[in-house]
Amino acid sequence: MKSSLVLASAVFLSLVPMHAQSLPEGPGKSTFENTCGGCHGADIVIGQTGTRDVWQDTVDSMRSRGALGTDDDFKTIVNYLTMYFGVPVNVNSAPAKELVDNLNLTSAEADAIVKARDKSKFKDYSDLAKVDGLDIKKLDPVKSRIKF
């Protein structure tokens, strides 16, 4: 009896950090967990990727299934999912709108990228860091999704 209890709690404890690691830290994580964790684990999105449009559709469909939150909550969740469960984006060829949607840039920042690549294509991340009007730190969380 006692040993099975110890075993059960050991199994439980070993699962907790695994889940905590799987959901990336970032703005919107707790809103996502609170709003989306009620019917299924919030880890249902792990392993999935999508564009902003795809995540917007998923969130809309969960809303119609009964997910409860404010408009702002759902906006925050779409941003969180797009940022941390997003798709690869080629900064040499993606239209400005895709840079805005999927890399969470302003349209001024996307235009700055387009202007710079029209002069010469980016070879790597250090080229991107030289773009006037772009704060490269903003791209840190999505660095692994950026392609050249």
Residue 77 or residue 83: which is nearer to ligand HEC going by CB?
77
Task: Tell which residue, 86, 105, 90, has the closest CA to residue 24.
Answer: 86
Residue 58 or residue 104: which is nearer to ligand HEC going by CB?
58
Q: For residues 7-39, b (16+ Cβ closer than 10 Å) or e, as one string?
A: eeeeeeeeeeeeeeeebeeeebbebbbebbeee
Task: Tell which residue, 89, 94, 148, 88, has the closest CA to residue 121.
Answer: 148
Q: Which of residues 7-66 bind ligand HEC (CB under 6 A)?
A: 35-36, 38-40, 44-45, 48, 58-59, 62, 65-66
Residue 62 or residue 113: which is nearer to ligand HEC going by CB?
62
Residue choice 23, 77, 103, 134 for contact with ligand HEC (CB under 6 A):
77
CA dihedral 106, 110, 112, 117 (to 10 degrees): 170
Q: How far is the CB of 101 from ligand HEC (least distance, A)?
A: 17
Residue 64 or residue 126: which is nearer to ligand HEC going by CB?
64
Q: How far is the CB of 77 from ligand HEC (least distance, A)?
A: 5
Residue 51 or residue 106: which is nearer to ligand HEC going by CB?
51
For residue 40, how far is the Cα from the chain centroid?
A: 19
Give the integer Cα–Cα distance in Å for 54 and 81. 10
Chain residues in the site for ligand HEC (CB under 6 A) = 35-36, 38-40, 44-45, 48, 58-59, 62, 65-67, 77
